[in-house]
Structure 1
Amino acid sequence: MLVREGFHGRVHATAGTRDLCGILLPDSGHIQEEDAAFANRHGFSKHAPALPLYTRRDALDCLGRIHAEPFGQTFQPIRGWRATFTPAGHILGAASLLLEVGGHRILFSGDLGRPDDQLMNPPDDPPAADTVLIESTYGDRLHPQEDLVAELGPALQRLAARGGVAVVPVFAVGRAQALLHAIAQLKSRGVIPHGLPVFLDSPMAVHTTHLFSQHPDDHRLSTREVQAMARAATMIETPEQSKALANRHGPMVILAASGMATGGRVLHHLALYAGNRRNMVILTGYQSPGTRGARLAAGESPVRIHGKEVEVAAEVVQLQSASAHADANQLLDWLRKMRGAPDQVYVVHGDLAASDALRQRIEHELKWRAMVPEHGSTWPA
C-alpha cells in the first residue's frame, strides 16, 4: 500500500523474508480479491461492494523495493542509523534487529523461535543494548513436554480408523511445514498408515515448503528431511484442484490456510466437513480471542462461515506443542544471555495478560526495569 501511495524508498529485509514476501504478498492479494468477489456474489459483506485491501498487482509492484541484508552485517537504512539483523529462529528469515542511533542501542526481538524447535535453528544470543523491545506471545505460558509428533500421532490414528476427514487450519509459513515434517515422520515410523492421503491446499504454503531447500542455513532439516517433507502431501494450488477435494472420501487430511480459520480455503473445507462426527478439526496452536479458531477451540456450535451458520459435530483437537514461539521460560532465558542489563525493557506483541505476566517475571527474576506500553504511547529510548 505504501508503494501504491508513492513510496520509492528501499525496504530492508533478510534474504528469507524477501523470498517469502515474493510468495506471500502476491498470493495474499489474490486471496483478498477472491474473497471480495465471493462476498459480492453471495451478498454477505457489510460493504457494497467488498474490496480487497490490496491486490496481487499492488503486491507485485512493491517487491522490487525489498533489499536483502545478510545476517550479522551492519547496514545504514538512514544516514547515521546503523542496523544489524541476527537470526531469531521462528520461521525462515525471522530476525531480531539491533538499531544504533544517537549513541543508543535499541534491540527489537521480533518473534523469537524455540531453542528446541524441530524445524528451525534456535535464536542467536542477543547483543548488548540500552533498550529492549521483546515479544510476549507466550509470555504467560509454557510449552508441554510432549512434542508435535507424539501429540499428532494419536489424533491421526483415530481419524484413519474411522475413515474421517481432518481439516487442519495452518499458517502457510512455519506451521504448515512443521505439520508436514511431523506427518512424514509418523508415516516413516509406521504410526499412521503410509497410504493416508494428505493434501496441502494453500499455494502460499506449497511455495514456502519449496523455499526450505533454498535456505538450508535457516533450519535444522537435512536435505533428505526437506525432500520427505515436500513429499508428505499432495500439493494443491488451483481453485479447481481445491474444489475437487470435495469429491473424495475419507480418510484424508487437508491442511489449508488460514491458521486461525479467519479466511482462505480452509473455510470451504470447514463448511463441508465440520458437521460430521466422523471428521476432525485439528487446531495447530494458539487461537487469538475473537477468531473463528478460538470459537472452535471453545467448543462453540454453530460457527458462522460465509454468512451461514455451520453446526460443528466433528471432533475438535487443539494441539499444544505445535507453536514456533518461544514460551515464557525461553523468552527469559534469551534475555539472560544479554551482556549486561539494559536500561529499560518494553514488553510488546502479546495479549495484555501475557505481556504483563512476562513483565512481572523480568522485574522479579532479572531485576530489570520493564513495562508494558499502552498502544499509541510514546516513550524515550
Structure 2
Amino acid sequence: MNDSLQFLGAADSVTGSRYLIETECSRILVDCGLFQGYKVLRERNRAEFAVPPASIDAVVLTHAHLDHSGYLPALVRDGFNGPVYATPGTAELSGVMLPDSGYLLEEEARHASRGRWSSHRTPRPLYTAADAEHSLHRFSVVDFDRPHRIAEDLEFTFLPAGHILGAAGVHLRVGSRTVRFTGDLGRVDDPLMRPPRPLEPASVLVTESTYGDRHHANSDPEAALGEVIHRVAGQNGVVLIPAFAVGRTETVLLHLSRLRDRGRLPDIPVFLNSPMAVDVATIYQRHPDEHRLDPAELDRMYSLATKVHTVDDSKLLNLRGGPMIIISASGMLTGGRILHHIAAYGSDPRNAIVLTGYQAGGTRGSALLGGAASLRIFGRDVPIRAEVVDLDSMSAHADADGLIRWMGAVTEHPRQVYVTHGEAAAADALRARIKRELGWRARVPEHLEQVALPSEEDAAPDA
C-alpha cells in the first residue's frame, strides 16, 4: 500500500496516540503516547511495537502530555535513532515530564515488589528515568509556522493548538496531499491558553474526540471551586485536587489566585505537592506569547502555594490535617504523590476530592466519578467517604460543540475525517455529528487499521 496512514493507538481509546505515515521513501510517527486506563490498554505498552523502531525515520510530537509522548523512552531504547521534532515549549516540558514518568514507573515497580501485590514475581518498569533522559537527546526543536522538510516527499508545519504550552496541530504534506492532525485541541475560552489556530484546508483530517459526546457546563468553575473550598474549610477538612502537572495545575492556581484577589478564598494554607509542576512554572514564564497571563499575574499565581519538594515533606502533609488545600499529580489518579494523600484523607467525610479534568475509563479518577466506595492503592482497598466533586468545565479540551465549530469554519472541507483519541461513545457521537451537521465523510478507525491516503483522483471513501 503506497502512502498510508496506520492507527497504532488512540483508535479505540482516549490514550496512546500513535499515527504511522508511510510513503515509498519514508516512515514517520506522529505522536508516541502511552496507553493508560484499562489493563487491556496498558498491556499494549508492553507489546512489541508494530514496526521496528529503527525503521522509523522521525517522530513528530504534538505536545508533551504522556498519552502523546510517554512511550518515546521505550521507542528510543528499542532502536529508534531519528529526530523527535517538537515545538520549543513541548521540548522543554518533555525534558521535565519524561524523566519524571520514568522515575514514577520505577517507583511503582519498587512498591509492587516490596508489597508483593504485583502478579509478576519481579515487577519491572516499562522504562527507567535513565531511558527517558537518553531519549531527550533525540529532540529537535521546530518553531510554530515554520515548514520543515523531513524527506523529499514529507514536510510538516506546527500550528498553535491551545490546550497546553507548546501544543500544536500538525499540517503534514505527503506528496501532493495534506493530512491535518489536531493533536489535543484547546478551547477558545480557556482562561490560561490562547485559542487554537483555525482549521486550514487539508485532504485528510485526523481529529481528537475526547469530549466528542459532551458539553462543558456553563457554570463558572472558579465560583464552584470557591464554594467547595469554603464548605470543606468550614469543617476543618482537606481539599485534595488531583491535577496534571502541566496545564491543569496552572489553571487551578490561576483560579485560586483570582479567588484570593477578590477576597473569596478562605485563609487556609495551599500546598503544591508536585516537583514537576514547580519546574514547569519557569517554562510558562519563558513563553508569554502562548498564554494569556501577564508576568505580574503569573508571579501572584505561583506565589500562592507553598511548594513541597522532598518526600519527607510530602509525608508530613498526611499527618497535618485540615483545613488545607493540596494540589498534586496525577490528574487521573494513575500514580504520583496524590495517591498517598488519597490514602490518608479519602476515608474522612469532612474532606473533598476535586476532579478537574477528563478521567479516562479504567483509571481511579473514572472509578471515583462512577461512585466507587473504595480505591485500590498500593495493594490495598482504601475506603472513599470524602465528597467527590467533578469540575470538568475546567478542562483544557474543546468540547463537542467546540470541535464542530472549529471544523465548520474551514473554507474547503477535507476529503475524509478520521475520529480518534476518544472512548467509543465519544468518538462515534462526534463522527455522527460531523456527517449530519457538516455533511463530511467521517469514520472511526480500528486499532492497527491501515488506510491508503487518497490521491487527488480518488473518490472519497464511504462515510
TM-score, scaled relative to structure 1: 0.97
**Does the 8 A contact of 1:139 with 1:357 survive in 2?**
yes
Return the alpha-carbon distance in structure 1 between the equivalents of residues 84 and 340 of structure 2: 35
Amino acid at match of 1:4: R
Return the alpha-carbon distance in structure 2 between the equivalents of residues 34 and 269 of structure 1: 16
**Does the 8 A contact of 1:164 with 1:280 survive in 2?**
yes
* Residue matched to 1:278: 350
Return the alpha-carbon distance in structure 1 between the equivalents of residues 362 and 134 of structure 2: 33
Please point out which of 114, 122, 128 is paired with 1:49: 122
Return the alpha-carbon distance in structure 1 between the equivalents of residues 145 and 124 of structure 2: 41
Return the alpha-carbon distance in structure 1 between the equivalents of residues 374 and 402 of structure 2: 37
Please point out which of 375, 378, 395 is paired with 1:306: 378
* Residue matched to 1:218: 290
* Residue matched to 1:263: 335
Return the alpha-carbon distance in structure 2 between the equivalents of residues 2 and 288 of structure 1: 24
Please point out which of 153, 156, 175 is paired with 1:83: 156
SS in 2 for 1:321: helix
Please point out which of 376, 394, 399 is paired with 1:322: 394
Return the alpha-carbon distance in structure 2 between the equivalents of residues 237 and 76 of structure 1: 42
Amino acid at match of 2:446: E
Two-structure CA RMSD over aligned residues (Å) = 1.2
Deviation at 1:189, TM superposition (A): 0.8
Return the alpha-carbon distance in structure 2 between the equivalents of residues 209 and 182 of structure 1: 16
* Residue matched to 1:235: 307
What's the CA shift string for 1:275-323, capped at 9, x where partnerless? Answer: 1111111111221222111111222112211111111111111113110
Please point out which of 242, 254, 259 is paired with 1:181: 254
Tell me, yes or no, if structure 1 residue 3 matches structure 2 residue 76. Answer: yes
Return the alpha-carbon distance in structure 2 between the equivalents of residues 156 and 209 of structure 1: 24
Amino acid at match of 2:143: P
Deviation at 1:78, TM superposition (A): 2.5
Return the alpha-carbon distance in structure 1 between the equivalents of residues 224 and 330 of structure 2: 21
Return the alpha-carbon distance in structure 2 between the equivalents of residues 5 and 303 of structure 1: 34
* Residue matched to 1:297: 369
Amino acid at match of 2:307: M
* Residue matched to 1:172: 245
Percentage of pairs with the same residue: 48
Deviation at 1:337, TM superposition (A): 2.3
* Residue matched to 1:28: 101
Amino acid at match of 1:165: V
SS in 2 for 1:107: strand
Please point out which of 135, 138, 153 is paired with 1:65: 138
Amino acid at match of 1:275: S
Deviation at 1:207, TM superposition (A): 1.3
Return the alpha-carbon distance in structure 2 between the equivalents of residues 210 and 347 of structure 1: 35
Tell me, yes or no, if structure 1 residue 360 matches structure 2 residue 432. Answer: yes
**Does the 8 A contact of 2:318 with 2:345 survive in 1?**
no
Task: Please give the residue correspondences for 1:94-133 in structure 2 after superposition, counting only pairs within 5 Å.
Answer: 94-133=167-206
Return the alpha-carbon distance in structure 2 between the equivalents of residues 4 and 240 of structure 1: 33
SS in 2 for 1:162: coil
Return the alpha-carbon distance in structure 2 between the equivalents of residues 181 and 148 of structure 1: 11
Aligned length: 380
Amino acid at match of 1:8: N
Amino acid at match of 1:184: S
Deviation at 1:66, TM superposition (A): 0.4
**Does the 8 A contact of 1:181 with 1:232 survive in 2?**
no
Deviation at 1:269, TM superposition (A): 0.6
* Residue matched to 1:158: 231
Deviation at 1:5, TM superposition (A): 2.3
Q: What stretches of structure 1 of length at least 5 have no aligned partner?
A: none
Return the alpha-carbon distance in structure 2 between the equivalents of residues 39 and 198 of structure 1: 31
* Residue matched to 2:460: none
SS in 2 for 1:379: strand
What's the CA shift string for 1:60-93, capped at 9, x where partnerless? Answer: 1111210111100000123321100000000011
Deviation at 1:153, TM superposition (A): 0.9
Deviation at 1:48, TM superposition (A): 1.9
**Does the 8 A contact of 1:175 with 1:324 survive in 2?**
yes
Query: Judging changes above 3 Å, is the alpha-carbon distance between structure 1 residues 107 and 319 closer, same or farther for their aligned structure 2 residues?
Result: same
**Does the 8 A contact of 2:185 with 2:397 survive in 1?**
yes
Query: Judging changes above 3 Å, is the alpha-carbon distance between structure 1 residues 147 and 79 closer, same or farther for their aligned structure 2 residues?
Result: farther
Please point out which of 251, 266, 273 is paired with 2:323: 251
Amino acid at match of 1:112: L
SS in 1 for 2:392: coil
What's the CA shift string for 1:14-61, capped at 9, x where partnerless? Answer: 111100000001111111112211221111111221111111111111
What's the CA shift string for 1:174-220, capped at 9, x where partnerless? Answer: 11111011111111111122x31111111122212221101111111
Return the alpha-carbon distance in structure 2 between the equivalents of residues 352 and 54 of structure 1: 29
Amino acid at match of 2:408: R
**Does the 8 A contact of 1:12 with 1:77 survive in 2?**
no
* Residue matched to 1:138: 211
Deviation at 1:101, TM superposition (A): 1.2
Q: What stretches of structure 2 of length at least 5 have no aligned partner?
A: 1-73, 454-463
SS in 2 for 1:334: helix
